[in-house]
C-alpha cells in the first residue's frame, strides 16, 4: 500500500462524436503525456457515449462489461493506470447514468449510479441510483459521485463520514454553471477535509457549451491543479494521504457538527 497517489483529470473535447473517437483521444492523450505517470485518470460524465446526444443515448448504452469497458480495460493495462469514466449503463430496459473505475490490471473496482437527476433531459432517459460504494485504490479509500450529486452537501458528507479520503466526480458542467467548479467543489473538499477530483468537458456538443474548469482540490480547499476552460488534456497532481488527516484534525467539522443543537448522531450517520 502507498500513501501517495498521482491523479490526472482528463478534460475532454465535447465534440468527439463517437465512442471510437473518444477512445482514440484518450489513447493519444495518455501516450503523449510527458509529465508524471498517473496512477488514476478521471474522465467526464458519460464519456463513453457523449452527454448532450438526445435519443442516441438509447442506442449507445452498454452493460458494465460491454465493448467500451473492454477497451478501457485494455488501455488501463497498457498504460498501467486506473481509469474512471462515465457511461450510459443498460440493465434490461432501464438506463443509469453511471461511472465506474477499472484498475491497472483491467479489473472493475468501483461503480456509482448518479443519485440525483437534474431538471432536463436526464429524467427522460435515466433512473436514479441508490446509495454509494467505497473502494480501495492504493492506500486511499475512494468514493464516486456524478456531477449534480456533488452539489448537495449531504452527499459529500455521507461518503466522507463513511471513510472516503478521495472523491471522484465526473461531470458535464454547462458554461453557465462555472460557480460550481470554481467555488462549490473547493468548498465541498474543504468542509469535509478530503481530496476531490472533478473532470469536465470543454467546448461545445450539439449547441451545449461546457465550462471546462476540471480540477484537483486538496483537503484544505486549495487547487492542486486546474485546467484552462478552453483546453483539453491532462491536469496532474500528487495526492498525499496524510493531508486528509491533517485537515480533519485542524478543522474537525465531522465531530463538531454535533454541537449544533438540531443535529443528532443517530440521524446523520447513515450506513453507506
Q: Please give the Cα distance from 27 to 91 (Å, whole number).
A: 28
241 is catalytic: no
Strands (E) across the chain are located at 4-13, 40-42, 82-91, 94-102, 108-113, 135-137, 140-144, 166-170, 195-199, 201-205, 208-211, 215-217, 223-226, 233-240
**Helix boundaries (H) for 121-232:** 122-125, 153-161, 178-179, 185-192
Nearest to 75 by CA among 127, 23, 111, 37: 23
114 is catalytic: yes
Question: Which one of 12, 49, 89, 114 is the catalytic residue?
Answer: 114
- Chain-centre distance of CA 138, in angstroms? 17
Question: Which one of 12, 147, 197, 215 is the catalytic residue?
Answer: 147
Question: Which one of 12, 45, 62, 132 is the catalytic residue?
Answer: 45
Question: Which positions are annotated as active-site residues?
Answer: 45, 114, 147
Amino acid at each position: 500500500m502507498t500513501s501517495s497517489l498521482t491523479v490526472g483529470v482528463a478534460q475532454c473535447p465535447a465534440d468527439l462524436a463517437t465512442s471510437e473517437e473518444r477512445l482514440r483521444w484518450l489513447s493519444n492523450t495518455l501516450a503523449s503525456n510527458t509529465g508524471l505517470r498517473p496512477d488514476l485518470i478521471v474522465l467526464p460524465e458519460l464519456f463513453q457515449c457523449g452527454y448532450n446526444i438526445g435519443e442516441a443515448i438509447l442506442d449507445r448504452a452498454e452493460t458494465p462489461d460491454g465493448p467500451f469497458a473492454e477497451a478501457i480495460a485494455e488501455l488501463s493495462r497498457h498504460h498501467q493506470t486506473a481509469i474512471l469514466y462515465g457511461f450510459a449503463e443498460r440493465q434490461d430496459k432501464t438506463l443509469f447514468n453511471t461511472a465506474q473505475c477499472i484498475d491497472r490490471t483491467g479489473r472493475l473496482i468501483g461503480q456509482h449510479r448518479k443519485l440525483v437527476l437534474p431538471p432536463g433531459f436526464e429524467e427522460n432517459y435515466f433512473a436514479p441510483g441508490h446509495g454509494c460504494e467505497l473502494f480501495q485504490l492504493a492506500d486511499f479509500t475512494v468514493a464516486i459521485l456524478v456531477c449534480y450529486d456533488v452539489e448537495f452537501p449531504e452527499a459529500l458528507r455521507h461518503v466522507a463520514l463513511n471513510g472516503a479520503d478521495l472523491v471522484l466526480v465526473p461531470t458535464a458542467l454547462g458554461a453557465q454553471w462555472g460557480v460550481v467548479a470554481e467555488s462549490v467543489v473547493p468548498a465541498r473538499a474543504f468542509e469535509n477535509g478530503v481530496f476531490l477530483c472533478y473532470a469536465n468537458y470543454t467546448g461545445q456538443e450539439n449547441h451545449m457549451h461546457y465550462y471546462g474548469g476540471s480540477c484537483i482540490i486538496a483537503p484544505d480547499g486549495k487547487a492542486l491543479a486546474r485546467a484552462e476552460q478552453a483546453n483539453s488534456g491532462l491536469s496532474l497532481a500528487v495526492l498525499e494521504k496524510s493531508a486528509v488527516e491533517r485537515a480533519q484534525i485542524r478543522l474537525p467539522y465531522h465531530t463538531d457538527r454535533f454541537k449544533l443543537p438540531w443535529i443528532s448522531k443517530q440521524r446523520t450517520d447513515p450506513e453507506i
